[in-house]
């Protein structure tokens, strides 16, 4: 086995060991020594890949982001031809996909938040970029963001194990969120929203005085 392949195998073993430790023992027990024991790597071999625990957490998040970026790119290719809002459709489908994957994404997210909140800056920036694209393509940006926020709620409650919904119920809700036809009647174009917000408030009725 050549050195690049051996290095990649060691890296993947360390990341899988980190996920196992976080899942079994909690993020507070994640240390380089624990990762070395769990993965079977020497401490020196592990530190050749990751100098600090924060580097491990960063790699876990980047791994999850890369996997779902690949799914998003493939989905977007078809969504451009089938949806009036391909960016929204892609985001909704990606979040649905994340709910059916193993919960390593949730564990990486939890560990990053607990141990190093600044690691969430990169995922947050990606969210800002994607939501700006959703609003730019939508005739009713607020309704589009309502659908996005509902999907994000379904994803997070599922990943963190606090959802009261069955898998079937969650899947049906995602299907409705993805169905543009069910939302068309609720869309308000910009002109209608502007007219509604500009309409004067009804004057309050003065109390009648008795004579």
Mean pLDDT by 10 residues, the chain (211 residues): 73 90 83 95 92 90 86 95 95 92 66 76 91 97 98 90 93 97 88 58 58 50
Are 114 and 41 members of one domain?
no
- Domains held by the chain: number: 2
Are 33 and 89 members of one domain?
no
Evaluate whether residue 162 is within a structural domain.
yes
Per-residue pLDDT at 192: 59
Evaluate whether residue 97 is within a structural domain.
yes
Q: Which of 44, 88, 54, 78 is nearest to 187 (CA)?
A: 88
* Domain span including residue 45: 7-51
Evaluate whether residue 201 is within a structural domain.
no
Evaluate whether residue 204 is within a structural domain.
no
Are 69 and 31 members of one domain?
no
Q: Please say whether the beta carbons of 160 and 153 come within 8 A.
A: no
Q: Which of 129, 153, 136, 143 is nearest to 183 (CA)?
A: 143
Evaluate whether residue 210 is within a structural domain.
no
Are 74 and 165 members of one domain?
yes
Per-residue pLDDT at 49: 92
How far is it, in rounded angstroms, from Cα 71 to Cα 90? 9
Q: Is the pTM of this model over 0.95?
A: no
Q: Please say whether the beta carbons of 76 and 32 come within 8 A.
A: no
Q: Please say whether the beta carbons of 30 and 74 come within 8 A.
A: no
How far is it, in rounded angstroms, from Cα 50 to Cα 11? 8
Per-residue pLDDT at 25: 84
Are 43 and 130 members of one domain?
no
Per-residue pLDDT at 1: 46
Pull the structure tokens for residue 22: 């976080």
Q: Please say whether the beta carbons of 13 and 41 come within 8 A.
A: yes
* Residue labelled with tokens 């600090």: 52
């Amino acid at each position: 086995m050549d050195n690049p392949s051996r290095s990649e195998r060691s890296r993947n073993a360390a990341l899988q060991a980190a996920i196992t430790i976080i899942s079994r023992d909690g993020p507070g027990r994640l240390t380089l020594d624990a990762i070395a024991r769990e993965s079977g790597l020497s401490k020196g071999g592990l530190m050749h890949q990751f100098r600090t625990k924060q580097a491990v957490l960063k790699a876990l998040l980047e791994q999850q982001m890369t996997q779902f970026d690949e799914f998003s790119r493939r989905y977007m290719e078809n969504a451009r031809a089938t949806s009036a809002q391909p960016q929204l459709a892609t985001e909704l489908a990606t979040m649905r996909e994340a709910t059916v994957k193993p919960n390593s994404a949730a564990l990486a997210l939890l560990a990053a938040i607990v141990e190093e909140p600044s690691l969430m800056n990169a995922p947050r920036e990606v969210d800002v970029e994607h939501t700006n694209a959703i609003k730019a393509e939508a005739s009713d940006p607020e309704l589009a963001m309502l659908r996005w926020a509902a999907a994000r709620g379904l994803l997070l409650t599922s990943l963190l194990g606090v959802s009261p919904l069955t898998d079937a119920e969650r899947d049906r809700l995602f299907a409705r969120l993805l169905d543009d036809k069910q939302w068309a009647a609720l869309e308000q174009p910009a002109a209608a929203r502007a007219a509604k917000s500009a309409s004067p408030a009804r004057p309050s009725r003065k109390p009648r005085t008795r004579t």
